[in-house]
């Protein structure tokens, strides 16, 4: 009996801690000027339309920084908090080359319900990743970031999650497309 109590208590503490982290407002900090994209087709599917993003990128000659976060994802809050803390340094670098798009999802939305749309074409998560040649087709991880050019082509293979660019130098590495 005692053997089961300890892990249960541990889980309870972990859940409480994560719930408190997740309770912080979701989304990229406003200073980054991100365009928020809400999903269509909810709850059967979460379809994010990137048509406007690509149109703007072509018109303004900029790259796209596409962020997929979930409202109940502790690691998303952690990355967003990092961006908030370092906005003075990072915002000019984002603004110079990138249009930032903030796709709002939820952890319960896994790859089978997540979709992307460009114009009148719509793809499942896996199909869209395969179309991009992105290795992350295998597993959807929150948060995810895609760096796209104005034609919607990936600028480099990004890692799952954001844990490898949560320092200022590493975020700048990403923005400079260092591989």
Partner 1 sequence: MTDLSSSRRRALQCFAAFSAAPVVWPALAAEGGLPSAAHSDSSPQWERVAASLFAGRTPRAGRDVVQLHVPLRAAYGASVPVKVVSALPQTPQLFVRRMWLVVDKNPSPLAAVLDLTLEVGQADFETRLRVDEYSHVRVVSELSNGELHTDSRYVKTSGGCSAPPNRDALHLIGKTVLKLPAGLKLDQPTPADVTVVHPNDTGFELNNVTVMYIPPHFVRSIKISYDRRKVFNADLDFSVSENPTLRFNFVPHGPGELRAEVTDSKDASFVGTLLVSGAG
CA gap 160, 86 in Å, rounded: 22
| 29 forms part of the interface with partner 1 (CB under 8 A) | no
Closest-CA residue to 174 (of 118, 100, 111, 103): 100
Name 49's Cβ contacts closer than 8 Å, sequence gap at least 6: 37, 40, 116, 117, 118
CA gap 46, 105 in Å, rounded: 7
Largest CA distance in the chain: 65
CA gap 88, 26 in Å, rounded: 20
**Options 138, 153, 176, 177; binder of partner 1; rule CB under 8 A:** 138
CA gap 34, 31 in Å, rounded: 8
**Options 50, 54, 147, 158; binder of partner 1; rule CB under 8 A:** 158
Nearer to partner 1, 97 or 134 (CB): 134
Q: What residues pair up with 74 in beta bridges, in sequence order?
A: none
**Options 51, 139, 153, 176; binder of partner 1; rule CB under 8 A:** 139
Binding-site string for partner 1 from residue 36 to residue 65, where x marks contact by CB under 8 A and - marks none = ------------------------------
| Stretch 81-120 residues interacting with partner 1 (CB under 8 A) | 82, 85, 107-108, 110-111
Interface segment toward partner 1; rule CB under 8 A; list 32-40, 52-60, 118-126, 139-147: 139-147
| 75 forms part of the interface with partner 1 (CB under 8 A) | yes
Residues that bind partner 1 (CB under 8 A): 7, 11, 14-15, 18-19, 70, 72-75, 78, 82, 85, 107-108, 110-111, 134-136, 138-144, 157-170, 173, 178-179
């Amino acid at each position: 009996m005692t053997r089961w109590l300890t892990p249960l208590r541990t889980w309870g503490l972990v859940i409480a801690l994560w719930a408190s982290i997740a309770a912080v407002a979701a989304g990229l900090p406003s200073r980054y000027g991100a365009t928020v994209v809400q999903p269509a087709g909810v709850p059967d599917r979460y379809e994010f339309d990137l048509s406007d993003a690509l149109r703007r990128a072509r018109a303004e000659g900029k790259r796209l920084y596409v962020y997929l976060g979930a409202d109940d994802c502790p690691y998303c809050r952690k990355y967003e908090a990092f961006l908030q803390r370092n906005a003075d340094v990072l915002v000019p670098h984002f603004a110079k080359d990138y249009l930032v798009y903030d796709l709002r999802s939820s952890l319960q939305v896994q790859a089978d319900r997540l979709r992307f749309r460009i114009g009148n074409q719509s793809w499942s998560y896996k199909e869209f990743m395969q179309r991009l040649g992105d290795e992350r087709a295998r597993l959807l991880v929150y948060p995810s970031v895609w760096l796209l050019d104005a034609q919607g082509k990936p600028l480099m293979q990004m890692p799952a999650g954001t844990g490898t660019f949560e320092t200022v130098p590493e975020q700048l590495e990403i923005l400079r497309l260092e591989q």
